[in-house]
Amino acid sequence: MVLSVNSVSVSLGRSRIVNDIDCYLRAGELLMLLGPNGAGKSTLLKAISGDLPYVGSVRFAGRELGQWRPEWLARQRAVMPQRVEVNFPLTVEEVVRLGRPKTASVGSDPVVDQLMSELDIGHLRHRLVPALSGGEQQRLQLARVLAQIIDSPGDRLLLLDECTSALDPAHQQMVLELVHRLAKNQGIAVLAVVHDLNLAAQFADRLLVMKAGCLVHEGSAREVLTPDLLEAVYGFTARVIELDEGYPMVVPRRGGLPNAYLAPGNPSCRQAS
């Protein structure tokens, strides 16, 4: 098991944002985390990244997160945050190289070149980051994150928080195909927070659904993406079409928002499950 998360809870101030979550991830598995805004997805991801204090246990490659030396962990596990804002005039190549091990800092680095061309930012390599578009910056951050672990031996884990939110459809497809390929060919375990249900259906091996800080459902796309569950979790009605490609597609209905959205009650784990 690359990642095992046992009874993890996170509290910010007095409120509990993530409540008693268990999950696990195998090598080469692409796990996607779904759920409405405020469900606690990003918070859970931050806890697993070690950015937030948590109760419970997060084990990576069999070892508790806190027991890893930071510099070793950085070679095996990479984290892409939801937003990375760069205000200083660094170039694209400089930022990607930040992900590389310290020794590989002189001369050209084939891994960096390869990643930049695969993420379609090779032509931007000497451009200044603050001047890039949002989508270009997102691809750049993914390149930096992948540069950290792509040539490391042993168990590897990739944590992605909405890594396609600023991309056009073609680039969304390109990025997730790359991630999918790396998972399958290189055995990298991927945990990704996503909002696009159809992208999740297309690429995920397994889906986790969170609501109000709790894990409410887990399974394949076909098991999870049902009209009933969508209504229970997101509160909207949708049609689910089984595609020839072998995965379902979610088509929201117009006017399908229930009253719950106009007057949201106090959400709790039990209600949702």
Do 260 and 211 contact (CB within 8 A), yes or no?
no
Terminal Cα-to-Cα distance of the chain (whole angstroms)? 27
CB of 218 to another protein, least distance (A): 26
Least separation in angstroms between CB 21 and another protein: 20
The yes or no reply on residue 99 touching another protein (CB under 8 A) is yes
Residues 19 to 78: which contact another protein by CB under 8 A? 46, 49-51, 70-75, 78
Q: What is the rounded distance in angstroms from the CA atom of residue 189 to the CA atom of residue 25?
A: 7
Residue span 119-138 as binding mask against another protein, x where in contact by CB under 8 A, dash where not: ------xxxx----------
Q: Rounded CA gap, 203 and 200, in Å?
A: 5
Q: Is 102 in the site for another protein (CB under 8 A)?
A: yes
Q: Does position 89 bind another protein by CB under 8 A? A: yes
**Packing angle, helices 134-149 and 110-118, rounded to 10:** 140
> Between residues 102 and 254, which has the closer beta carbon with respect to another protein?
102
Q: Report, in Å, the least distance between residue 107 CB and another protein.
A: 14
Quick one: 95 or 132, whose CB is closer to another protein?
Answer: 95
> Rounded to an integer, what distance in angstroms lies between the CA atom of residue 180 and that of residue 245?
16
Compute CA distances 139 → 38, 136, 183, 250, whole Å. Answer: 25, 5, 18, 26
Positions that interact with another protein (CB under 8 A)? 46, 49-51, 70-75, 78-79, 81, 84-91, 94-95, 98-99, 102, 125-128, 148
